[in-house]
Structure 1
Amino acid sequence: METSNNKQWLTDLKVLYLAGYKKLRIYDVFSSPGWFTVIIVVSGSAAFTCGGSSIVLSTGDMCVVPQGSELTSLSGPLRICLLSCTVDFAVSSRAVRFGSPCIEALVSQAVVVLPLTPSEMRHMIQLIKLLKKKIFARDTLFQDEMVLLCLHLIFYEFCGLYYKNGQDTALLYSRNDKTASNFIMLVHQHCKVHHEIKFYADSLFVSQGHLRKTVRGVLGTSAKHFIEMAVIAEAYLLLADENLSIAQIAENLNFKDSSSFSHFFKRHTRLSPSQYRLNLKF
């Protein structure tokens, strides 16, 4: 069964429970461009560098790891839970629409560390284990929906913990971080109507070239691609409404006709809108 992400999570979402040093080093997620990563240190500690700064995480710390971070030392007995997804997946699954904490954590080059109480840590670990279970479930009935629901619940919980620890969480944003964060929010507000980079650059009072360079540097993907993924996310929702025709959806998303919308959708999903909608029924 194909659903709202066309099984994108099979390649763009990783959920792991790692114990020991070798396994953590094998999974070199911290240096992977274009990935958004959250780790929970269950026991032991891990140190890494980011932008010249050294960060040490210990038992009970939940951390959003900036792209390009590098592991420097580990001590044990080390056990961590790790959830990582591509920026594309975070956009198309609408994960970054759960409020400013998700957006801020996605774009900030500062390290977001949330100290968890033992009960909070157990709760988050249970949710991550549930997500992993749904990913590897043999019974595929509603598997895609269950995976996304579990992922979204984790992000909602993250937002709640972020606000709870807000007074102790001091993030240092660069000008580029702020530009990228504002770009993300504008895209989610206006992507149904505005598909071109010029609109967002003008709204942010920067040149198109500057916006392209900033988004690429912060998010690891192009501004145009980010906008297109946001449009695809909106298309997924509209296609789930059987009362809307393909032509109406094309108009809703500001395509000149259903043919141009179908070409755009198939280029990104390998399915026509009609095929995608048909698969939702099975």
Structure 2
Amino acid sequence: MKKTAVHYQGIIKPEEDNPLAVMVFSEQDFSKRIVVGEVYKATYFAVLIITKGSMIVKHNLREFWVKENSLFFIMPSTVYEFSDISQDFKVQGCVFSIDYLSQTGVVLSTPSVVEVMTGAYQPYYAINVEETKLLLNLYEVLKKALAEEQAVAFIGELKKYSFLSLFYHSASIYARYNVSYKVKLNRREELTIGFLRLLSKHYKEERSVQFYADQLFVTPKHLTQMLKEGTGRTTGSFIDRAVIVGAKLLLKDRSLNIAQVAQELNFTDQFTFAKYFKKHTGITPSQFRADH
């Protein structure tokens, strides 16, 4: 697969001046906004329906090969890296905020909805052709509703219920596929998922393997062994990867100086941080910032 090379400022999102908005997008919008190899932190929810081609994407450090006839969920406050996108890649989807969900009356306290919206298990699901067709039909209905003039009778209701239909059908697929996914989890998989959840929450302040092992009630050696068997990577490599991804995101924020980035990541000083960053990337934080 050949990598694309386009400029992008952030994950696809509704209009800046309308946080309650919902919007639809296609591969043209996607390709304009995604740079292969860049790291992004989502601020909105999105549902992606992949209809052709494939992409390789890391979600909280776990890598997924997303292929034709599949569903992919983007979750707020989650880190993504798109490492490969095929030239024939085609995708349709919608993006929305937590405020929009609340406005439509989705009950976020419902356990099943919370599970879907927090990405409790995995974000990627291979679906069958019939499910793909259904979701695409619902996407088209929503797209048409969003394009209607405000003067159309019941336009608010048309937009709302078109969105909810696509949302709940996607959530239903998520829940149904996760029934079997939960049952299949073995101890190694449980430890891996538990570790990655902890890492996404604590990587800024904790870089010790001992900390994560203690939280999971296992020894550091056992945790590393389980991760190595399941992913081919060590606990330390996951931790380093999370810190570097977080560092790159913070370095892109020009309101923070490098000393503040180091402090945010719990380094003793910016020199220690710079040494760590260069060890794992080959360049200094200043060089990274200058290039981005």
Find out whether 1:65 has 2:77 as its counterpart.
no
* Equivalence for 1:153: 165
SS of residue matched to 1:76: coil
RMSD of aligned alpha carbons: 3.2
Aligned counterparts of 2:200 and 2:102: Cα–Cα separation in 1:
17
2:133 to 114, 118, 122: 122
Q: Can you give the 5+ residue segments of structure 1 that lack an aligned partner in the other structure?
A: 1-7, 179-282
Q: Letter of the aligned partner of 1:168 in structure 2?
A: S
1:162 alignment partner, one of 164, 170, 174: 174
Q: Which residue of 1 aligns with 2:241?
A: none
Q: CA deviation at 1:109?
A: 6.4
**1:49 paired residue number:** 58
Offset at residue 51 of structure 1 (A): 2.1
User: What is the 5 A alignment of 1:201-216?
Assistant: none
Q: Find the aligned partners of 2:176 and 2:45 in 1 and give their Cα distance.
A: 22
Contact residue 98 and residue 156 of structure 1 kept, 8 A: no
User: How far apart are 1:147 and its partner, in Å?
Assistant: 0.6
For the residue of structure 2 that corresponds to 1:140, the secondary structure is coil
Q: Deviations over 1:98-139 (max 9, x none)?
A: 953431122236532222211110110110111011001135
Q: Which runs of 5+ in 2 are unaligned?
A: 1-16, 183-189, 202-292
Does structure 1 retain, via aligned residues, the 8 Å contact 2:24–2:93? Answer: yes
Residues matched between the structures, number: 168
Preserved CA contact (<8 Å) 1:20 1:77: no
- The amino acid that maps onto 2:146 is I
TM-score, normalised to structure 1's length?
A: 0.51
Q: 1 CA distance for matches of 2:34 and 2:146? A: 23
Partner of residue 77, structure 1 = 88
**Contact 1:21–1:74 (Cα < 8 Å) also in 2:** no
**How far has the Cα of 1:71 moved from its partner?**
1.5
Q: For 1:164 and 1:110, how far apart are their aligned partners in 2? A: 12
Conserved in 1, the CA contact under 8 Å of 2:20 and 2:100?
no
CA gap of 1:10–1:20, structure 2 versus 1, over 3 A, is closer
Q: Distance in 1 between matches of 2:50 and 2:160?
A: 24
- Distance in 2 (CA, whole Å) between partners of 1:132 and 1:9 is 18
Identify the match of residue 100 of structure 1 among 111, 124, 130. 111
Give yes or no for the alignment of 1:34 onto 2:43: yes
